[in-house]
Structure 1
Amino acid sequence: MEKSDSKALLVQNDELDILTTEHIENDDIGFSSGYESNPESTPEVDDSSDQESDCNLKDAVNYNSTSALCDRLKYILSMPELCDVTFLVGPTKVPIYGVKAILGTRSRVMYQLILQKQKEEEEKRSHKSRKSRGNSRLVIDVKKYEPEDFRKIIQFIHCGTVDVTSKSVTGLLCGANQFKLVDLKVACWDFIKRCLKSENGSMAVMRKSAHQYSHHKTAEKLLSKISKHFTQTSRETTPTLPSICTVKPSSPPKLTTTV
């Protein structure tokens, strides 16, 4: 599995509760074609409408195209001037940008994080002069993620699509658990199961990445699963050795000489 698509709504978000990811069921998570039709979703028809208009409404088909929207949302992340939140990730504080409105409506945990940071900034500014209130960009420090992995997490929250690899799956899985992204969590575990069944070197890369996130409980769970897999594999591939017998060398024959 190379790419995971989220089916969470990107446009029609009138209420924040709609996007609470705990209510997303696994059966609703999958891959989106980006162009969907729903013949059954027709507008309500008033009893006073005539038969001809009623017939036309029943023939109506509603189309949704989100591929272009996802591309635009992904492009926004590369334009800091259009973003209003900056994450400084890792010990080198790599800047990763995002839009608060999108992040907050796609993840309840991200919304709480942004809201808490905004309150902290407002309290700091209240002790300073009003002239220092020119910078409206929010800055949040993120210490427990690799920059590239966190960039992918923000990308997924922004536009609902991300490439999952053996190197990034641990970071994505930790982010999916922390920010309650159920569809991303399912996609990561599906990718891990595929790697466990394959015989390539992806498991070694995944285990190395999991060690980098050992401070996350999710990474500990993944490491335990990988260790069990390697133990089981080694048992199946190791040939059964016969029992070892100790053989004593026979004593040299005695030579008897008769005179």
Structure 2
Amino acid sequence: MKLNFVKLSPAKNTTVLITDYVDPVFYQEIARVVMRYEYLGAEQVGFIVPPRNKNSRLRLEMSGSEFCGNAVLSAAALGIYKGLCREDHFCIESSGTALPLSCEVIVRAKNLSRMKAEMPKPDKMEQLKIDTGEKEIPGCLVQLPGISHFVTNCDLPRESYDQVMEILQSKSDAKALGIISYRELGGEKYEIFPFVFVRDSGSKVFEQACGSGSLSLGAYLHATEGKSILEVQQPGGTITVETGVKDYLTADVFFTCEGLVDIAENR
């Protein structure tokens, strides 16, 4: 099976978008192959399909039907790149959320777009303690449509993330889960180290950047400290989060390559 793709990099959270139609039953199998080192080495995979709403320009479907903020930014940038979205303001759709999301292109360049996109509001936020047997880790479970993130200011050793994620899976049936360990850098700047699990595909990744994780941190700090604009630094770059009546993410999205990926049988 040969499929057209575009690989994008929002804050180095490498995202492959498949632009040919694929039966959704194959999404997870294709994503597992595309994410492999010998293929495209992506951190996540989405599929571009026609929108359901006549006012939307395109629809993004993630391989696990989850919501992904950076993939939304990538899909919006793809719309500009492919000429599907000729205006500076437009709407797209995404798995994991029912409503169209408004998007804005701030910078247009040959292989770069600075994109701003509306994000869904959290469905719920609840205080949660994860007991590993050695210690309790206090935090907040921010439940977004299609993904939930455990936000904590505890400094977690890298080797502890798998255990914390296993416990988290027993406490939430979300399609995707993240662990967002953060620290304040001063002013409105924060740093996170995102770790994301997608239930249907079984993938666990220390991501270079996480849009929905950044959003979850912004929502949590807006609710607890009244903060409305954050610069969230992560291993791959910086994402700006705005929270208020509506919530937004802004980041640079680079186009790294495009072409055909050959999904061999029995891989």
| TM-score, normalising length: structure 1 | 0.23
- Compare the two structures and name the one with the higher strand fraction: 2
Report which of the two structures shows the higher radius of gyration computed on alpha carbons. Answer: 1
Higher helix share: 1
TM-score (norm 2): 0.23
